[in-house]
Amino acid sequence: MTALLSLFTSFFFIGLFAFGGGYAVLSFLQHEVVRKGWLETEHFADMIAVAQSTPGPIAMNLATFVGYQQAGVGGALTATLAVALPGMLLMMLFALFFFHFYERPAVQAVFKGLRPSVLGLIAAAAWQIGRVAFVNWVSVSIAVVCCIIIARWKVHPAFLVIGSAIAGMLFF
């Protein structure tokens, strides 16, 4: 029970103060993990690799992983809930008021500035992944083929992800 409570408070704190998602959570988590003596450094690196290469939000994966290692399935569920809770509560609180103001000209003006900025952020994410992803002609070809498929047909992205995994296994 103490273990669960300790997991809950740690991950709630991380969820409450980590602005910017996955990678921000990572630095907070490293701090907590070291402070509480949960994992050794090399295991922490392995854990990051697992969280980045499995489906789902990275922060969520980190929480589940650490929670499981500390206190089994109960620990995994506790940590996952705790990391998600602050954002969800704030978001719902925000939503109570937000939709009443959404159509106002001032609010729409704010969003006219926000939208290109968000797209810029997403482009930056693509750039950062691209720097790691494009290692040879195989990865470039996979990306080009995906772009052509997306431009011409309505294919669900999941098929492209699965197809590229198979292509990766065959050609890399």
Instruction: Indicate which single residue of 27, 31, 50, 100 sits in contact with other proteins (rule: CB under 8 A).
Output: 50
Q: Which stretch binds other proteins (CB under 8 A): 1-9, 33-41, 156-164?
A: 156-164
CB of 162 to other proteins, least distance (A): 8
- Does residue 61 belong to the site contacting other proteins (CB under 8 A)? yes
Spatial distance between the Cα atoms of 96 and 102, rounded to a whole number of angstroms: 11
CA–CA dist 92, 99 (Å, integer): 11
CB-CB neighbours of 139 under 10 Å = 18
DSSP state of 20: T
Contact residue for other proteins among 9, 88, 100, 101 (CB under 8 A) = 88
From candidates 30, 32, 44, 164, binder to other proteins by CB under 8 A: 164
Contact 83, 15 (CB under 8 A): yes
DSSP code at position 39: S
- Tell me the closest approach of the beta carbon of residue 40 to other proteins, in angstroms: 15
Nearest distance, CB of residue 98 and other proteins, angstroms: 7
